[in-house]
Structure 1
């Protein structure tokens, strides 16, 4: 709500550098403090505010840079730095060659070409990501990333939860085993199945059809929130609505991705599904506050 308040003030435009610092600090300073605990799962939620900033005028190349940093970082961890640097160099050469053929650029212009600067930044990041990985992350966090990248095979230790989760989801088949009939979950083969790994219970008991129904329900909820946010008459309500949608989206993607072995294991609940009163109350209050704003949107003119 603090970020929504700052962005909704008169004269604030994310198209200008002078207006970006305070909202960005309000959104991402708590992220840094949470990482000091450390609590990576809660910190990742703040990345969803990039959706809010993009809606409020943040240029799209910031999103491009963020996604590019993720791709380069994963490649640098999965393969050797030399290979990644070579790939970046080839990509730079292809981009410059295509631009040279279409616009016949002079050498002096090529030196200042954006592809050069993006490539240099990508190379610096590729060289530094391994240092960050080895010096910043905790041992258990590094092990989870290595498991995801296939560099470590420990199904009986750090990868046990994800392995059992995949077995549970796969055993559900197309229509599932039926309510409370899941063997992997009911016999407690899957740890934390009521909290972080709740989605594997859905997959085992209700199968592919039930899993798709849950995915569609979450997609419909987020789409509906975005629709309501767009029709708000005040900037504060619109930004708050987009903030809720981004928070739900990050929880949704990370939790289900973790259950399916697509992202590292991070303790983050699935909204309205995972066991826990605090998360249920937090999501409910956020959602109903926004519904209250939408119901009285005409009275705020």
Structure 2
């Protein structure tokens, strides 16, 4: 087992630097989008969240990842703990914006689905890393799918369709890299389309259908389902090339842009920092993705490689979907912008 010092030396400080820049951006934007209503309260909490996160990161960096590869019971234990927290939401969860997805712990709200996302990356990396030469067997797809099906079912109960999409993409991405047969992938694609059709008719509520359709023609209901997308586009357009300045965006500061500190923080940033600021933000994300991909390619075993890939997918999918919804290219799903949106 590596010493603590040698593990710290092996950290990719370029990745940490990119994340640090994103955290500073987050604190500035959370302050900008909330200071009129809560003064420094939410920005201070965001700073505290990041301080705690940094300490957790340092602590985890001292743990040899090979422990998880060699002792499956540790991952299984974390998996069932995460599942238990999701089940608990059915009885003790707090409903926010129509979804029972949080525990109200007083100082902050805890969202268990975020824990299950990370645990699923570990579980899938462990499962496929030891079976990649047998990926032609359908049973491995079914067994890994069972790991996925439990949290997906519980997420649908909340409902949290955005997290279902993220978990599904992570599962598919890791399977593809592990060597799934393309005929099996095509079968899953057809099943996914069929499941989507069934969900549309039997699971989705009217307001959810309206939200999904509003991105096609938001002006059909400008004060209802299309309101958020319209205001987001206006905010982005207001920013121009250089932006209106921190805490100076009219859409954001006058309260027209909904959830400016959370779901639509990219639109708020684009309004106040302009196209140049948005491009810089995207460049930092691109740099972060490149560094994580480099770690993936340089990994010396399948478990580390698949975990790095899964973590990359976890961040990339959320970034891509959040920014696309802010631009009106995808329906609103409630997926936030990693490292930028408010929350721990």
Instruction: Report the TM range for the smaller structure's normalisation.
Output: 0.5 to 0.7
Task: Sort the Cα spacing of 1:239 and 1:155 in 2 relative to 1 into closer, same or farther, 3 A.
Answer: same
- Say whether residues 1:51 and 2:51 are aligned partners: no
Residue in structure 1 matched with residue 125 of structure 2 by the alignment: 4
- Say whether residues 1:177 and 2:244 are aligned partners: yes
CA RMSD across the alignment: 2.4
Task: Sort the Cα spacing of 1:240 and 1:39 in 2 relative to 1 into closer, same or farther, 3 A.
Answer: same
Compute the TM-score of the two structures, normalised by the length of structure 1.
0.67
Task: Sort the Cα spacing of 1:11 and 1:272 in 2 relative to 1 into closer, same or farther, 3 A.
Answer: closer
Q: Tell me the alpha carbon deviations over residues 175-230 of structure 1, each in whole angstroms, 9 at most, x when there is no partner.
A: 21122221111121111100111001111011112112212221221222121012
Q: Among 193, 200, 220, which residue is 2:287 paired with? A: 220
Residue in structure 1 matched with residue 11 of structure 2 by the alignment: none
Residue in structure 1 matched with residue 307 of structure 2 by the alignment: 240
2:342 counterpart SS class: coil
Task: Sort the Cα spacing of 1:130 and 1:12 in 2 relative to 1 into closer, same or farther, 3 A.
Answer: closer
User: What is the CA distance between 1:52 and its match in structure 2?
Assistant: 1.4
Larger Rg: 1
Query: What is the rounded CA distance, in whole Å, between the counterparts of 1:23 and 1:10 in structure 2?
Result: 11
Residue in structure 2 matched with residue 14 of structure 1 by the alignment: 135
> Hey, which bits of structure 1, 4+ residues long, moved more than 6 A?
65-70
Compute the TM-score of the two structures, normalised by the length of structure 2.
0.59
Residue in structure 1 matched with residue 226 of structure 2 by the alignment: 159
Residue in structure 1 matched with residue 101 of structure 2 by the alignment: none
Query: What is the rounded CA distance, in whole Å, between the counterparts of 2:189 and 2:324 in structure 1?
Result: 17
5+ residue gaps in structure 1?
Answer: 74-124, 278-301
5+ residue gaps in structure 2?
Answer: 1-121
Q: Which has the higher contact order (CA 8 A, sep 6+)?
A: 2
1:20 counterpart SS class: helix
Task: Sort the Cα spacing of 1:228 and 1:206 in 2 relative to 1 into closer, same or farther, 3 A.
Answer: same
Aligned residues: 222
